[in-house]
Amino acid sequence: MRHLLLILLLIPLSMSFSAPAHAEQPMLLQVHPDRLVAQTAGGEKSFSIEVADDNYERQRGLMFRETMEDDRGMLFVFPASQQLGFWMQNTPMPLDLLFIGNDGKVKAIEQGVPFSTDSISPPVEAQFVLELKAGTAEKAGIAIGDRLRHPLIDAVAGQG
CA dist., res. 100 & res. 102, Å (int): 7
DSSP structure class, residue 22:
G
How does residue 32 score in pLDDT terms, banded at 50, 70 and 90? Answer: very high
Report pLDDT for 24: 85
Torsion of CA 127, 131, 136, 140, to 10 degrees: -30
Top-confidence residue, 9 or 88: 88
- Determine the average pLDDT of the residues in 118-142: 98
pTM summary value: 0.85
How does residue 23 score in pLDDT terms, banded at 50, 70 and 90? Answer: low
Which CATH number does the domain 26-157 belong to among 2.60.120.1140, 3.40.50.720, 2.60.40.10, 3.40.50.300?
2.60.120.1140
CA dist., res. 26 & res. 64, Å (int): 5
**Domain locations in the chain as residue ranges:** 26-157
Torsion of CA 20, 21, 22, 24, to 10 degrees: 100
Among 68, 31, 40, residue whose Cα is nearest residue 149: 40
Residue 160, number of CB atoms within 10 A of its CB = 7
